[in-house]
Structure formats: C-alpha cells, structure tokens
C-alpha cells in the first residue's frame, strides 16, 4: 500500500522520520562526550565514536578532585538559582505593568527593555568590570547575579508580557471588585496562571547563570568561587589539554541541567508556545 504525499499518514511518516533524525543529532554529542570521558587524548583524537580500548575511570577522579568539580557545580547552582529568582520576580512585576497599565511611559519603557535583546554581551564587559573594580565587588556573587539577570530580563519580559496579554482582563476586574490591589492580583491570580511561562523563564535563566563563562573570567579570581565553566579550564595547559577529564567534568556538570529540564520540560514547551502564539 503506497503512502501518498500530503495525506495524514504520509505526514505522520515524514514527522516520524524527522523525529528519529533529530533525536540522533541531539543524542550523538552526548554519546560522544560520554565515550570520550573514558578515553585518553590519543584515542579521542583518533576516533571519538568508538568504544574505549581501555576504560579510564581515573578521568572522573581527576574531574572530581583535580578540578574540584563538585564545588564548582555548587557555585554554578547558586549563580543559576539566584539569577532565576531575580529574573522571575522582576520580569513578572514589569510584565504585569507593561500588559495592564496605560501610563504614557509604559510602551517606551517596554521598547527600551526589548532593545536589550539586540545588545551583545561583549559590549558591556569593560564598563561592568570597571564598576566592579570601583565598588570592590570582584569575587562577589551579589554583583555577578544581577549582571546575569540584566542580560536575561529582556527575553523574560518579552515572553511574560506576551503571556499575560493572553489572560482575560475580566479576571482583573473581578479581583478589583473583591478588593484586591495590584500585588494581590499578581500574586494570587497571575502567578498561578502563568506557571508555564514562569517555568520557561526559570529554566532559561538557570541555564545561562549555570554555564556563563565570559563574566566569570573577568569578575571572579577566587578559585573557591569558580563556576563549572571556569573549572573546565583547569585541564588546559600551555601545550596540551587533557581532554578525557574535561569530558568527564562535562558529563558530571550537565546532570543538574538535564534533571531540571526533565522535570520542567512540559511547562517549558507550553510556555514557549503560549508566549509565541497567544502574544
């Protein structure tokens, strides 16, 4: 029985083939990284896709104790969670105003935030490093987390505003009649309804704060405060990089992010679709 192109069954076959192809592309880098984490440099450079001739479990020992990867993961978790918390609070407050208020400054301020989507990170390196040095905030997470949050806010506000715009204003009116003020409406009505977009913002912000490298190089000098991205540089020498421990450290470091995505992936997908379509 032939499958006609354009028919429902034909479309299902095409979608299935594409899904299998995309899954292979997605899984291949992770599989390659896992195999390489048990190899020596010569094996990695000769063929990354074959099984190790000798399984070097010491690569994981070096990653754990040489680069102190567990301490770095904790540091990255602090940065990621702190960034997510700041971005969620600020973006929800700002998005509610941008969506529901009609003051003369609301639209220009919203457009000003959106211009942040076009601002390259590298343009802010010099001024932010000078500010940190002037205020003696080098090696301070209290400075680094707001910096991370600032670069995530434009995207978060764009998504949250589009999502809140899709919520009926009748809910606001009913809550106002019941005596709720703006903060009560936001906390008791919009936060529960906006769980998908909040999850999306939280995951995107966490991943950025967890894995960011450029600002951590400039603003952190204390080895005990290095995040994962800095810890991976431990195995890079003047003439050679020990790739086995690097791949082992990567495998250990991605476990929190994979776990986070597995827990929240459904809400993230709903949030992205809602923010794109309803807005």
- Domain-located, residue 146: yes
The pair phi, psi for residue 241, each rounded to 5°, is: -115, 130
List residues bridging with 241 in a β-sheet.
236
d(CA 236, CA 60): 16
- Domain-located, residue 43: no
Q: For residue range 219-269, what is the model confidence (pLDDT) as tens digits?
A: 999 989 999 988 888 887 666 788 888 899 999 988 888 887 787 766 666
Q: Residue 279: what pLDDT? A: 43
Contact (Cβ atoms closer than 8 angstroms) between residue 160 and residue 201: yes
22's CB contacts (< 8 A; 6+ apart) are: none
Q: For residue range 66-95, what is the model confidence (pLDDT) as tens digits?
A: 888 899 999 999 999 999 999 999 999 999
| DSSP annotation string for 93-127 | HHHHHHHH---TTHHHHHHHHHGGGG--GGGGHHH
- Domain-located, residue 202: yes
Domain range enclosing 142: 57-277
Kindly state the tokens that stand for 55: 């399984």
Residues of the chain with pLDDT under 70: 1-11, 237-239, 265-279
Q: Is the pTM of this model over 0.75?
A: yes
- Domain-located, residue 52: no
Q: Which long-range contacts (CB under 8 A, 24 or more apart) does 102-107 make?
A: none
Q: What's the domain count of the chain?
A: 1
Cα 106 to the center of its chain, rounded Å:
28
CATH number of the domain enclosing 247: 1.10.3720.10
b or e along 13-36 (b: 16 or more beta carbons within 10 Å of the residue's beta carbon)? eeeeeeeeeeeeeeeeeeeebebb
b or e along 187-197 (b: 16 or more beta carbons within 10 Å of the residue's beta carbon)? eebbeeebebb
- Domain-located, residue 25: no
The SS3 assignment for 2 reads coil
- Taking residue 158's Cβ as centre, other Cβ atoms within 10 Å add up to 20
- Domain-located, residue 157: yes
Kindly state the tokens that stand for 240: 């050679």
How many residues would you count in the chain? Answer: 279
Q: Residue 10: what pLDDT? A: 58
Contact (Cβ atoms closer than 8 angstroms) between residue 214 and residue 125: yes
- Domain-located, residue 72: yes
Kindly state the tokens that stand for 58: 């010491």
Q: Residue 72: what pLDDT? A: 93
- Domain-located, residue 39: no
Kindly state the tokens that stand for 8: 């429902």
């Amino acid at each position: 029985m032939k499958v006609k192109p354009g028919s429902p069954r034909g479309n299902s076959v095409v979608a299935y083939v594409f899904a299998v192809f995309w899954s292979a592309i997605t899984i291949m880098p992770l599989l390659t990284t896992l195999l390489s984490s048990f190899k020596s440099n010569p094996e990695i450079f000769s063929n990354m896709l074959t099984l190790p001739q000798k399984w070097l479990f010491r690569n994981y020992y070096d990653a754990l104790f040489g680069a102190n990867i567990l301490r770095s993961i904790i540091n990255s978790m602090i940065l990621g969670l702190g960034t997510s918390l700041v971005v969620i609070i600020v973006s929800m407050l700002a998005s509610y105003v941008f969506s529901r208020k009609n003051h003369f400054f609301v639209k220009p301020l919203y457009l000003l935030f959106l211009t942040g989507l076009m601002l390259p990170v590298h343009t802010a390196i010099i001024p932010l490093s000078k500010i940190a040095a002037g205020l003696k905030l080098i090696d301070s997470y209290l400075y680094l987390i707001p910096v991370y949050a600032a670069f995530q806010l434009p995207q978060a506000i764009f998504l949250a505003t589009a999502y809140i715009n899709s919520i009926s204003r009748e809910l606001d009116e009913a809550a106002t009649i019941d005596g709720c003020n703006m903060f009560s409406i936001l906390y008791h009505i919009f936060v529960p309804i906006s769980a998908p977009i909040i999850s999306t913002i939280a995951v995107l912000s966490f991943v950025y704060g967890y894995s960011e490298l450029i600002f951590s190089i400039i603003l952190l000098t204390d080895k005990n405060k290095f995040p994962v991205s800095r810890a991976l540089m431990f195995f890079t020498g003047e003439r050679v990089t020990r790739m086995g421990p690097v791949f082992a450290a990567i495998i250990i470091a991605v476990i929190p992010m994979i776990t986070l995505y597995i827990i929240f992936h459904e809400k993230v997908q709903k949030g992205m679709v809602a923010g794109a379509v309803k807005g």
